Amino acid sequence: MTVAIVGAGLSGLALAHHLDRVGEPFVLYEASAEPGGVVQSNTVDGRVLDIGPQRTRLTPAVTELVHAAGLEPRLRQAADRPLYVFHNGDLRRAPTDLRSAVTTDLLSIRGKLRVLGELFAAPPRADETVGTYLRRAFGTEVAERFIGPLYAGLYGSDLDEMYVRHSFGKAVERLDSPRSLLVAALRHRLGDRDLPPVVSFENGLQELALGLANTVADRLELATPVTEIERGSGAEDAFRIHTATEERTVDDVVFTTPAAVTATLLAGVAPDAAAALEGLTYNPLAVVHLVADGGLDAAGYQVALDEPLDTLGVTSNHGLFGRYGLHTCYLGGGQRPGLLEKSDTALGELAAREFVTTTGLDAESVNVDRLRPGMPAYDKSWTAMDDIELPAGLHLCANFSARAGIPGRARDARQLAESLTAQ
């Protein structure tokens, strides 16, 4: 069996590692000159800047990749810092543990008591929106001030446009107590199953991508976009991969690319699936790195859904990894897509102004990037995924087809590799 992997982001690199580990032949194509996909890191004026994800959890699947890349000495574990939500003119402690759940002023006493209603609420239903579920289970305050900003803010999406089954439900399925999310959270906090540590690397998260790429360099073709995929003339499930310089016959093709890119490549071999993927919505994001006059002793903060700010959330690289004064701001999303048309200067000034508003700290922009297509919206357009059926030999291993985030991508790649090698 020969596998063609399209896209050398973390999904493609992790899949390549697992196939390499068992001796299965593969070729890995990447359109850009560097591996990593959305996981990109730069150094500007001596500061390490992560453009996409700012950190990851050291789950078993991620740990295996770190070991394969030989990066254990390069790991940096995040400090234990609180998370905040900007609401009603101030940063307020998010109730992420029992003590802060009691003492936080993010929620009123009534709002805190309303959370207990989740014990008697029906579990999340696949056909309801995340917003509908959160409000009926936990109450409006929790939905719009706590879980909503943390969850919808991550994707830049609208809670009332996101169906449970497309993302939220997949996270719930992994909990030991799907009947009650509150009970599951308490079990994790009070039990002996600590969450894996939050980590990065000395030179940012892209170190992991670069390290994995080095282990499969002889089968990685950078700056080589796949231009066409067609049925092979031999075995029924064989395919021909076309690039600008070569044509290669393979048995299986794995797409780790964004939905629109995947749709273009599927057009000739799976037109119905291609049409469905073309309609999936992504939320573009502006990423602005600020250097503040002082540090923010926190993991970061999200902005409550009813606040009139363009900032969705901020990661404090200062608080997490001791990168003095550095903070990463995310703006835009599905509600403000036109924001990304502003100039770098305008976006930097906007982020700095809102950072002063939320923290009281003066700051200046040192870097501006745009994530396009951005984050999967997991909104109602994702209903198109329900009817997608790919021909034998074609596979999806992308953040739009399963959970986003490095741990999810590492886990899904391992599972797909196991499935492929069991054929």
pLDDT digits (tens, 9 = 90+) for 303-326: 999 899 999 999 999 999 999 999
**Residue 78 scores a pLDDT above 80:** yes
> Which of 202, 219, 253 lies closest to 13 in space, CA to CA?
219
Return the pLDDT at 151.
Answer: 86
pLDDT of residue 89: 94
Q: Please tell me whether residue 367 adopts helix, strand or coil conformation.
A: strand
Q: What type of residue is 263?
A: A
Q: What is the pTM of this model?
A: 0.94
Matching CATH topology for 3-40+57-72+203-280+379-421 and 96-190?
no
> Cis (ω within 30 of 0) for the bond into 373?
yes
Estimate the crossing angle of helix 10-21 against helix 60-68, to 10 degrees.
70
pLDDT tier, 336 (very low <50, low <70, confident <90, very high otherwise): confident
Alpha helices by DSSP H, 291-405: 317-321, 344-359
Q: Cα(295)–Cα(417) distance, rounded to whole angstroms?
A: 43
Instruction: State yes or no: pLDDT of 363 exceeds 60.
Output: yes
By percentage, how much of the chain surpasses pLDDT 70? 96
Architecture of domain 3-40+57-72+203-280+379-421: 3-Layer(bba) Sandwich (3.50)
Mean pLDDT within 385-407: 91
Residue 195 clears pLDDT 60, i.e. is over it = yes
**Cα atoms found within 13 Å of the Cα of residue 407, Cβ hemisphere only:** 14
pLDDT at position 5: 98
State yes or no: pLDDT of 192 exceeds 80.
no
pLDDT tens readout for residues 40-54: 999 999 999 999 999
Pairing of β 3-6 and β 252-255: parallel
Question: Per-residue confidence at 137, pLDDT binned at 50, 70, 90?
Answer: very high
Residue 367 bridge partners (DSSP): 289
Tell me: pLDDT of 259 over 60.
yes
Long-range contacts of 174-178 (CB under 8 A, 24+ apart): 178/123
* H-state helical runs in 8-69: 10-21, 60-68
Nearest residue to 320 (alpha-carbon basis) of 151, 210, 197: 197
Beta-bridge partner residues of 162: 379
Q: What would the mean pLDDT of 140-167 be, rounded to a whole number?
A: 89
Confidence of residue 156 (pLDDT cuts 50, 70, 90): confident
Give residue 333's pLDDT band: very low, low, confident or very high (50, 70, 90).
confident
Average pLDDT over residues 109-135: 93
Hey, where are the domains in the chain? 3-40+57-72+203-280+379-421, 96-190
| pLDDT tens digits for range 15-24 | 999 999 999 9
- φ, ψ for residue 375 (rounded to 5)? -95, 140
Token output for 257: 């690319």
Tokens 């890349």, located at residue: 69
Q: What is the mean pLDDT of residues 390-407?
A: 91
Confidence category of residue 275, pLDDT binned at 50, 70, 90:
very high
The whole-number average pLDDT for the span 249-272 is 96
Check pLDDT > 80 for residue 337: no
| 167 — pLDDT class (breaks 50, 70, 90) | confident
Tell me the average pLDDT across 359-380: 94
Is 96-190 a CATH 3.10.20.30 domain?
no
pLDDT above 60: residue 207: yes
User: CB of 406 within 8 A of CB of 62?
Assistant: yes
Residue 235 has pLDDT above 70, yes or no: no
Confidence band (pLDDT; 50, 70, 90) for 293?
Answer: confident
**Whats the size of the chain, residue-wise?**
423
DSSP structure string for 86-146: EETTEEEE---SHHHHHH-SSS-HHHHHHGGGGGGSPPPPTTSBHHHHHHHHH-HHIIIII
Average pLDDT over residues 110-125: 93
Q: Please say if the pLDDT value at position 193 is more than 70.
A: no
